[in-house]
Amino acid sequence: MPTSLAAMSGGRGHGDRNRCGAMTVMITGGTGFVGVAVADHLARMGRRAVAFATHPAPPGWLPEQAVEIIGDVTDADQVKAAMAAEKVTVVIHAAAMTAGPEQERHAPERVVAVNVAGTAAVLRAAAESGIKKVILASSGSVYPLDKNGEGRFDARIDRPAPAALYGMTKLAAEQIALRLAVVYGLCLPIVRLSAVYGPFERDSGVREILSAQAQVVALARRGEEVRLSRPGFGGWLYSRDAAAALVALIDKKFPEPPPVFDLGGQEVFSILDFCQALAARLPGWSYRIDEEDPNIRFQLPADRRPSDFIRLQAATGFKPRFDLATAIPDYLDWLDKTG
């Protein structure tokens, strides 16, 4: 039985629910890593967000004006009820299980259900609710583990070839969503986020391996030495930039079908570089390369090429704002505020 809307709602922000002419953005996976970052960015813009997710956000993480609704993204009736109750006008579909080896082994059915069936459920619910635009947060994991290629991944050139279940389900979700967008007459921009780190990341049970940066800062703040198996280069994307990019697509008009966009960070750096920048702010803390006994677990077995952002910039004017030098102080400030 679907959970009643009254039971699903966390009770936040209902006072301005019926404000005339207001755009209301539903974020599926809205209490997760990227989802909370999107809700935070919308609040900074004065826009209203509905965070639909399986689990509540940590206290104080969602903006006060956001509405939190607890429900199952694979249940289209629950999603549709939330859309109707909150008068949702656009959807950012970010709900996903970011599976690693353990979830592949022990919960493959759930990974497929959330990432693939959940996408189909959200699109049907949106169409039946009269919503015309769904922004799909996909992943750079649809690309191969190509550490020797030149340049950045670009959807106009590079063919998907996912290496693990997560990437396979994200590619399947893209393909199903594209078909359903035609069936339902939806505008469906797709953004392949790559190598995200920064504020609002936590161990929520759906993200098996946290970013290397999150692992590093957790050890560093406890004064524990960090040992890396390799430098770990990537085109790292700060979570505030990931959120800003998704929000930038809300008001843009696109040809049908809209293009598939890539989104990586503005610069390539290593986790070793990240440690060096962090150490400048934490006197006495140490880090090193230790191939035999590392205590940082990388999400990928090898470095992956960074992803492009030029196509997205051309379409929306958005460009990643945070580089390593600006991300470190913002990240530490957020950690200090949230504990």
Q: Which residues pair with 196 in a beta bridge?
A: 237
- 225's tokens: 């030495």
In whole angstroms, what is the distance from residue 28 CA to residue 21 CA? 22
pLDDT computed for residue 8 by the predictor: 46
For 302, other C-beta atoms within 10 Å of its C-beta total: 12
Which residue segments constitute the domains of the chain, with CATH numbers given?
5-196+236-264+305-321 (3.40.50.720)
For 110, other C-beta atoms within 10 Å of its C-beta total: 14
Question: Is 23 exposed, middle or buried, given 0-12, 13-18 or 19+ CB atoms closer than 10 A?
Answer: middle
In whole angstroms, what is the distance from residue 78 CA to residue 99 CA? 24
pLDDT computed for residue 255 by the predictor: 86
In whole angstroms, what is the distance from residue 111 CA to residue 127 CA? 24
pLDDT computed for residue 230 by the predictor: 98
pLDDT computed for residue 18 by the predictor: 38
- Cβ-contact 31, 68 below 8 angstroms: yes
What percent of the chain is predicted at pLDDT more than 70?
93
| Segments of the chain scoring below 70 in pLDDT | 1-22, 147-149
- Cβ-contact 78, 118 below 8 angstroms: no
Compute the radius of gyration of the chain from its Cα atoms: 19
Mean pLDDT in the chain?
A: 92
